[in-house]
Chains A and B, each alone.
Chain A
């Protein structure tokens, strides 16, 4: 298994500002992902964080809104830019060692935009 530390655990932000969420894994992993869970909804994949290159974004998510960094095999950040109340959600970092293995999750960041 892998232990994933995510911070902050929660934040209340003003609209128009940006928040950067950090994700630290206790060991090297092949894949890191960022998900969003809106109230009453499933976990939706935002992007795959690629080590040393640009993230791969899913349909409906763009780099300008959700810039992602992954400087090494254990750390990634997700920035939610120019926030609006619609961005209020839980954001989750995930890591996987290999294909067809379980993904491990951080505890999530509960973001409220006012």
Chain B
């Protein structure tokens, strides 16, 4: 049973427009949320994170929104650039005692069209 779901395997967006990537999780115990970007033949690269005490975190063109009641987070990229074309993974974590590990979604492949 998937604990983290990214229901859109792919997304195409015109350059300059907003890209919105979505992620749903099942366990309300998760309290730390991250987004990673992955190019082919490279490891995932950390993008942005948010803890459960916040509902928004912004870093340049990237903003992550967290809706705890809906167990939903989203990543907004604006404006989208061709270099943003990659696979984006959502990851969640639980800060309970002894727990470090991240649980990943299956990823969404973003294509930004020039």
Interface pair B100/A102, CB less than 8 Å apart: no
Q: How many A-B residue pairs have CB under 8 A?
A: 56
Whether B100 lies near A31 (C-beta < 8 A) is yes
CB distance from A113 to the nearest CB of B (A): 19
Minimum CB–CB distance from A94 to chain B (whole Å) comes to 8
Footprint of B on A, CB under 8 Å? 1, 4, 6, 9, 30-31, 33, 40-45, 48, 92, 96, 99-100, 102-108, 110
B contact set with A: CB distance below 8 Å: 4, 31-32, 34, 36, 41-46, 49, 51, 89, 91, 93, 95, 99-107
User: Can you list 9 pairs linking A and B with CB atoms under 8 Å apart?
Assistant: A41-B106, A45-B102, A99-B93, A99-B99, A103-B34, A105-B36, A105-B43, A107-B41, A107-B43
